[in-house]
């Protein structure tokens, strides 16, 4: 682990970390030239420098993972769980340091960054204990002297590809349950967040993870190491693929997995609705909408996109919401931890589809805090009168923008909420329990919140969506185990001779007695 002085203008932010790929338990260079991870907070800040991987690096990582699998899956699950507990301890010991790097590298506020590190810690704590609960079942047989049982078995080598908006929490959701179940991993983190990924790998090293169990390959997605990973599916390198990112790339991965009869875990985009009914606590709903739409600069797959307002309170809510947005402070999260959100993770995420503008030193006002000249800081954008006929209603923007839609009644509100091809997260604000129950039963989304935001996840609850938001796989909690294990049925016959189910079973067996004269009662 090496450091060098940062550029003079960015020296107060911290040093530049010189990172590596991690293959077969060794820190190695890549086949291609190195690339810099520049801070979106201030592009003069070089957070890290990393070697980019090529096709041969992916093959080496896959071979290292395959070799490690031969011994790792034989390690008792409680022992694997205890190693994950130690990983959580290392994360906890360095929580604030990791959060600061996370803020530097992806532009989150320190409050959100601390929460993300805590989510990774929670994931370790939860799955450490699951090492003692990888339960199967004992099933009664229809034959004598025969035992039937089921067992979770690891799938093999898992390719993991993650995005930049949650560069620590989401990888933990995938890697931790994968290795707990006895699998090995080849992980491609986002090219926008290699430094926090490297430090996560260092946490695994400090905890004593054996060589080859997790391998990290850095570089670009399209045209780079991500493309080589996808090609590795057809080459037989992987028995599982877990991906978080766009629906378009998810389809490509799904097609490759389908050709090879592999079941991928796909966590994709969202166009998440929140309904506010006439009896809602408007102040509570406004705060939820503010953070749901603009937290992390709207760069969450669960960010609020379509805000559906019941007509009787639409004007009152809009007035309060606009007032709250107008008071929200934005800007540099390193200099001002109190800001609602900071910059876009990468300037490519800042392309305006419509409306809004980029903050500059020329157009900034008192709500914009700190140095912003060297980052992509976007104004919040609110659209009124959006209907299902408009592209904006259906398109995932992945930025600080939200649509206001009007509904005449609950039925129309629910129809609007279900009116996009996505189905990730959803919310409703109401005190009417009948509406709550109808919403829970009728919303087509993998996650539903009642009087809470569309954003936010807990480590022990399933996370995932429907339709364009995913393929039905779930991350978090015991449900994640289904992605990284396959069921094995064991038929253990101690009778000493061949017994054939359904054939040698005497289902006609019964005792015979004198007939009961029911007709004489």
In a domain, 88, yes or no: yes
Establish if 219 belongs to a structural domain: yes
345 in any annotated domain:
no
pLDDT in tens, 500-509: 998 988 877 7
Looking at residue 356, its pLDDT comes to: 65
3-state secondary structure of 155: coil
Q: Would you say 423 and 468 are in contact if contact means Cβ atoms under 8 Å apart?
A: yes
**pLDDT of 18:** 97
How many domains in the chain?
2
pLDDT at 267 over 90: yes
Per-residue pLDDT tens for 242-258?
999 999 999 999 999 99
Contact between 90 and 207 under an 8 Å Cβ cutoff? The reply is yes
Specify if 29 maps to a domain.
no
> Domain check: are 311 and 199 in the same one?
no
Query: Which one of 267, 381, 405, 475 is the catalytic residue?
Result: 267
| Statement: residue 360 has pLDDT above 80 | yes
Do both 254 and 221 map to the same domain? yes
Asked whether the predicted pLDDT for residue 348 surpasses 90, the reply is: no
Same domain, 257 and 276: no
pLDDT in tens, 279-303: 999 999 999 999 999 999 999 999 9
Max CA distance (Å), the chain = 105
Closest-CA residue to 185 (of 1, 22, 20): 22
Q: Could you tell me if residue 457 is inside a domain?
A: yes
Distance of CA 314 to the CA centre of its chain: 33
On whether both 200 and 305 belong to a single domain, the answer is no
Given a cut of 90, is residue 140 above it in pLDDT?
yes
What pTM did the predictor assign? 0.94
**pLDDT confidence tier of residue 499, bands split at 50, 70 and 90:** very high
Instruction: Give yes or no for a contact between 414 and 311, defined as CB atoms under 8 angstroms apart.
Output: no
pLDDT at 457 over 90: no
Indicate whether 170 and 290 sit together in one domain: no
Give the dihedral sign, CA 469/475/479/483.
positive
258 and 278, same structural domain?
A: no
Residues 242 and 128 in one domain: yes
Nearest CA-CA partner of 93 in 234, 17, 203:
203
Q: Which pLDDT band holds residue 55 (cuts at 50, 70, 90)?
A: very high
pLDDT at 474 over 60: yes
Give a yes or no: residue 215 inside a domain.
Answer: yes
Query: What per-residue confidence (pLDDT) applies to 505?
Result: 85
Contact 266, 471 (CB under 8 A): yes
* Residue 301 known to be catalytic: yes
Supply 62's token pair.
């896959």
Segments forming the whole domain that contains residue 132: 56-268+476-484
One DSSP character per residue, 36-76 reads EEE-SS-TT-EEEEEEEP-HHHHHHHHHHHHHHHHHHTTS-
Is residue 4 one of the residues assigned to a domain? no
* Cross-strand pairs, 384: 404
Cβ contact 30:52 at 8 Å: yes
Q: How confident is the model at residue 430 (pLDDT cuts 50, 70, 90)?
A: very high
Calculate the average pLDDT of the chain: 95
* CB-based contact 62:129 (threshold 8 Å): no
Instruction: Out of 181, 203, 301, 381, pick the active-site residue.
Output: 301
Residue 384 lies inside a defined structural domain of this protein: yes
CATH of the domain at 227: 3.40.605.10
pLDDT, tens digit, 9 for 90 and up, residues 180-224:
999 999 999 999 999 999 999 999 999 999 999 999 999 999 889
Write out the two tokens for 164: 């930049």
CB 16 within 8 A of CB 104: no
Q: Are residues 292 and 162 in the same domain?
A: no
- Share above pLDDT 70 across residues of the chain, in percent, rounded to a whole number: 98
Report the distance separating Cα 401 and Cα 355, nearest Å: 9
234 CB neighbour count, 10 Å cutoff: 12
State the number of CA atoms in the 13 A half-sphere of 371 facing the CB: 14
- In this structure, the answer to whether residues 112 and 209 fall within a common structural domain is yes
Token pair in block for residue 85: 């507990």
CB atoms within 10 A of CB 397: 22
Note whether 182 and 256 are same-domain residues: yes
Q: How far apart are CA 102 and CA 169, in angstroms?
A: 11
| Same domain (yes/no): 260, 156 | yes
User: Is residue 97 located within the same domain as residue 139?
Assistant: yes
DSSP lists the bridge partners of residue 402 as 382
CATH code of the domain containing 402: 3.40.309.10
């Amino acid at each position: 682990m090496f450091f060098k002085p940062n550029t003079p203008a960015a020296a107060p932010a911290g040093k530049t970390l010189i990172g590596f790929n991690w293959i077969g338990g060794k820190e190695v260079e890549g086949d291609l030239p190195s690339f810099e991870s520049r801070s979106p907070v201030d592009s003069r800040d070089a957070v890290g420098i990393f070697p980019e991987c090529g096709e041969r690096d992916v093959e080496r990582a896959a071979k290292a993972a395959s070799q490690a699998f031969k011994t790792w899956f034989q390690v008792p699950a409680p022992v694997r769980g205890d190693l994950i507990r130690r990983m959580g301890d290392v994360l906890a010991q360095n929580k604030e340091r990791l959060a600061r790097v996370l803020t530097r590298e992806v532009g989150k506020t320190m409050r959100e960054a601390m929460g993300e590190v805590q989510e990774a810690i929670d994931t370790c704590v939860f799955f450490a204990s699951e090492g003692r609960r990888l339960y199967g079942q004992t099933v009664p047989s229809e034959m004598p002297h025969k035992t039937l049982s089921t067992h979770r078995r690891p799938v093999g080598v898992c390719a993991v590809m993650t995005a930049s908006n949650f560069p620590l929490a989401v990888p933990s959701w995938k890697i931790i349950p994968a290795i707990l179940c006895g699998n090995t991993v080849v992980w491609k983190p986002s090219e926008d967040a290699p430094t926090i990924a490297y430090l996560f790998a260092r946490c695994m090293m400090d905890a004593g993870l054996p060589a080859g169990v997790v391998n990290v390959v850095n570089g670009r997605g399209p045209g780079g190491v991500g493309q080589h990973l996808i090609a590795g599916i057809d080459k037989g390198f992987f028995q599982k693929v877990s991906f978080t990112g766009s629906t378009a790339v998810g389809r490509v991965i799904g097609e490759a997995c389908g050709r090879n009869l592999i079941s991928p875990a796909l966590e994709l985009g969202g166009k998440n609705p929140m309904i506010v009914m006439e009896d809602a606590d408007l102040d509570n709903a406004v705060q939820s909408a503010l953070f749901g739409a603009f937290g992390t600069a709207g760069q969450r797959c669960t960010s609020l996109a379509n805000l559906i307002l019941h007509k009787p309170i639409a004007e009152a809510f809009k007035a309060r919401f606009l007032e709250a947005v107008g008071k929200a402070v934005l800007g540099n999260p390193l200099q001002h931890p109190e800001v609602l959100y900071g910059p876009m993770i990468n300037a490519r995420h800042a392309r305006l589809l419509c409306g809004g503008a980029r903050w500059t030193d020329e157009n900034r006002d008192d709500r914009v805090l700190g140095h912003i000249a060297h980052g992509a800081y976007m104004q919040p954008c609110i659209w009124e009168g959006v209907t299902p006929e408009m592209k904006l209603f259906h398109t995932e923007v992945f930025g600080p923008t939200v649509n206001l839609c009007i509904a005449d009644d609950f039925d129309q509100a629910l129809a609007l909420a279900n009116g996009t091809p996505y189905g990730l997260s959803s919310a409703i604000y109401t005190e009417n329990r009948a509406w709550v129950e109808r919403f829970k039963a009728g919303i087509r989304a993998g996650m539903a919140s009642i009087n809470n935001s569309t954003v936010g996840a807990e480590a022990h609850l399933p996370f995932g969506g429907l339709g364009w938001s995913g393929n039905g796989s779930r991350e978090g909690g015991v449900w994640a185990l289904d992605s990284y294990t396959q069921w094995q049925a064991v038929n253990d016959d101690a009778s000493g001779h061949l017994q054939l189910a359904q054939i040698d079973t005497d289902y006609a067996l019964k005792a015979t007695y004198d007939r009961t004269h029911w007709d004489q009662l």
